[in-house]
């Protein structure tokens, strides 16, 4: 069965510092991977996605993620965090044929001034 694990429930970084949010997945075939961001009381916004090809994908708001098959990981990175990046981040995997998205537990990002 598919599953997604985000090992870090809560992360605090200083504004301007770099950021890496971890995501590990379990899936038998080539996964479709996503990172979403959710502000309090809001829906989800897609940051980036990986379907195939280049394993380093660029997203919106300066985010990028790298797919590493050998490690079953899809970690999200940003070189310099802004205060507005404080939110909940979800990694998700899809099987494609059913369209179902399975979400990780989420990581809460707090940004210190």
Partner 1 sequence: GAVVSQHPSWVICKSGTSVKIECRSLDFQATTMFWYRQFPKQSLMLMATSNEGSKATYEQGVEKDKFLINHASLTLSTLTVTSAHPEDSSFYICSARDGKTGGYTGELFFGEGSRLTVL
DSSP 44-100: EEEEEEE-SS-SEEE-GGG-EEEEEGGGTEEEEEESS--GGG-EEEEEEEE-SSS--
Question: Contacts with partner 1 in 40-79 (CB under 8 A)?
Answer: 41-46, 49, 51
Q: Closer to partner 1 at the Cβ: 49 or 77? A: 49
Q: Which of 7, 16, 79, 96 binds partner 1 (CB under 8 A)?
A: 96
Q: Are 70 and 84 in contact (CB under 8 A)?
A: no
Q: Are 89 and 35 in contact (CB under 8 A)?
A: yes
Q: Which of 14, 100, 110, 112 binds partner 1 (CB under 8 A)?
A: 100
Q: Is 24 in the site for partner 1 (CB under 8 A)?
A: no
Q: Which of 21, 47, 106, 109 binds partner 1 (CB under 8 A)?
A: 106
Q: Which residues bind partner 1 (CB under 8 A)?
A: 32, 34, 36, 41-46, 49, 51, 90, 94-106, 108
């Amino acid at each position: 069965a598919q599953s997604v694990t985000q090992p870090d429930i809560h992360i605090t970084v200083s504004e301007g510092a770099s950021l890496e949010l971890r995501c590990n997945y379990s899936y038998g075939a080539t996964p479709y991977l996503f990172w979403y961001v959710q502000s309090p009381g809001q829906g989800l916004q897609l940051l980036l996605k990986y379907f195939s090809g280049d394993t380093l994908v660029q997203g919106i708001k300066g985010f990028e993620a790298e797919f590493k098959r050998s490690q079953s990981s899809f970690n999200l990175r940003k070189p310099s965090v802004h205060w507005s990046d404080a939110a909940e981040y979800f990694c998700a995997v899809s099987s494609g044929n059913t369209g179902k998205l399975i979400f990780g537990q989420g990581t809460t990002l707090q940004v210190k001034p």
